[in-house]
Structure 1
Amino acid sequence: MTEPATRRARNLVHTDPAEVSLQDVLDALADPVRRSILRELSAEPDFSRACGTFDLPVSKATASHHFAVLRAAGLLEQVDRGSRRFNRLRRAEFDARFPGLLALVLAEAR
Structure 2
Amino acid sequence: MEQLWALPEDGWLSVREVLERLTDRDLAYTTVMTVLDRLAKKHLVSRERVGRAWRYRAASGRDELTAEVLQSSLDPLEPGDRKAALLHFLDNASAEDLDVLRAGLAEVERKQSR
Instruction: Tell me the TM-score range normalised by the shorter chain.
Output: 0.3 to 0.5
Q: Provide the TM-score with structure 1 as the length reference.
A: 0.45
Larger RCO (CA within 8 A; separation ≥ 6)? 1
Q: Provide the TM-score with structure 2 as the length reference.
A: 0.44
Going by fraction, where is helix more abundant, 1 or 2?
2
